[in-house]
Structure 1
Amino acid sequence: MNLPSTVATTARAALAADPVIAVVRAPRIPDAAALCEALAAGGINWVEFTYTTPDVTEHLKKAADAGWRVGVGTVLTAEQATRGIGAGAGFLVTPGCRPEVAGAAHAAGVPVVLGALTPTEVALAVDLGAAAVKIFPAKAFGPGYFKDLHGPYPDVPLVASGGVNAGNAAEFLAAGALAVCAGTDVVPPAVVAAGDWAEITRRALAFTAACGRG
């Protein structure tokens, strides 16, 4: 089951132009819209809230209503996918290949980034209509793994996730990653929970500068 080609193509082009996704996992988020604003001030315009964060759909709705580009991650079921989309998620992200999530995304016309690691899983994600394939955990295998995957899959858009930081993000992009995920290096749970938006902006600026985007 494939997503409409225009959905996938549009998402890929947007990621290529703006290749950093902030992945937010925090015990609390005092103001999701303010968090998105702080990240955007640092050059990060894709924000993924995750189902491991309490009240994630409320945060999605608040940020989406304010006009920010937000998605929901750690999506494991079609029900979670549908609920996230209903709350305003403009894209979905999974930790592994989840056919039912891909199906829900397809039905709603929303792009999905499916998680994978092995070449077999990458092929499955492509068959399921992923707009991009998230390689997790990226740091454990390193940038060279992305070059290896592009041997048999030269046209598959890959996203590096897991252990990506300001010190190695540029290497993953140079090795062929379409985009990278910025986690605790940019949005540490304690800093998010404290609502220290100036610190979030500082971290985002450092990350995007390291990627050559500053």
Structure 2
Amino acid sequence: MDAMRDWNELLGDAPVLPVVAVDDPERAVAVSRALHAGGLRCVELTLRTDNALACIERVAAQVPEVVLGVGTVTRASEVAAVVAAGAHFLVSPGLTPALAEALRACPVPALPGVATPSEALAARDWGFSAVKVFPASVLGGPAFLRALGAVTGSLGLCPTGGVGPDTLADYLGCPKVFAAGASWPCKGELIAEARWGEVTRRARILAERAREVL
């Protein structure tokens, strides 16, 4: 199967990837269900907390309706563990030679992070068909994405970092952008306060705006 088609099928009709940092497995389950209820098919749980692996395992077991990604993968040694925990895809903030080899060898799709044209071309040469562009807003926002897409051929782009309801359409409207990552619908304070209705409301806003663009 074509690699970009893999990503399109994973994301469904609302190509927004909610980026979640959560330390409690029960809250990981609750926020994943809330995001899915708002129309976002995928959830990216990051390896930024001490209990991240337990959260991944719990969501994989209890929320099978979501397509579960694992983000902030920074070491080759983490790849096998998160795949075993139930990840359907992996995301990294950057790419080293060792990490590139591990991601290429893993049995699920991987989205390596880049911040420059040189890094994007290196990822393409390593065999990746799509990359995460991070931190997108710091790098120059949609203008940077348009410039990057003009020189990286068919490489798919997924901007993450600073994407929200007011900028989502601009990002998704850039050539070569097939999805956008956003933490706005699942901010840490919403998780801490168990405001699952607000998480669903925000997810619905992003899902609807994404569908309007496509």
Length-normalised TM-score, structure 1: 0.89
Per-residue deviation, residues 60-100 of structure 1 (Å, max 9, x unmatched)? 11111231211111111111111111101111111112332
Q: CA RMSD in A?
A: 2.0
Corresponding letter in the other structure for 2:182: A
Judging changes above 3 Å, is the alpha-carbon distance between structure 1 residues 203 and 173 closer, same or farther for their aligned structure 2 residues?
same
Looking at structure 2, the residues matched to 62 and 158 of structure 1 have their Cα atoms a distance apart, in angstroms, of: 30
Identity within the alignment, %: 33
Q: Which moved more, 1:130-139 or 1:38-47?
A: 130-139
* Aligned-residue offset at 1:213: 5.1
* Displaced runs of 4 or more, over 6 A: none
1:76-91 → structure 2 map (5 Å cutoff):
76-91=74-89
User: In the alignment, what sits opposite 2:117?
Assistant: 119
Q: Provide the secondary structure at the position in 2 that maps to 1:101.
A: helix
Looking at structure 1, the residues matched to 191 and 45 of structure 2 have their Cα atoms a distance apart, in angstroms, of: 12
Length-normalised TM-score, structure 2: 0.89
Looking at structure 1, the residues matched to 74 and 168 of structure 2 have their Cα atoms a distance apart, in angstroms, of: 27
Q: Provide the secondary structure at the position in 2 that maps to 1:23.
A: strand
Whether the 8 Å CA contact 1:30–1:195 is kept in 2: the answer is: no
Whether the 8 Å CA contact 2:25–2:58 is kept in 1: the answer is: no
Judging changes above 3 Å, is the alpha-carbon distance between structure 1 residues 98 and 11 closer, same or farther for their aligned structure 2 residues?
farther
1:49-198 → structure 2 map (5 Å cutoff):
49-66=45-62, 67=64, 68-140=66-138, 141-176=140-175, 177-183=177-183, 185-198=184-197
* Aligned-residue offset at 1:131: 4.2
Q: Provide the secondary structure at the position in 1 that maps to 2:172.
A: helix
User: In the alignment, what sits opposite 1:201?
Assistant: 200
Whether the 8 Å CA contact 1:28–1:193 is kept in 2: the answer is: no
* Aligned-residue offset at 1:134: 0.7
Looking at structure 2, the residues matched to 62 and 29 of structure 1 have their Cα atoms a distance apart, in angstroms, of: 6
Looking at structure 2, the residues matched to 16 and 158 of structure 1 have their Cα atoms a distance apart, in angstroms, of: 16
Identify, as 1 or 2, the structure richer in helix: 2
Gaps of 5+ in 2: none
Whether the 8 Å CA contact 2:22–2:191 is kept in 1: the answer is: yes
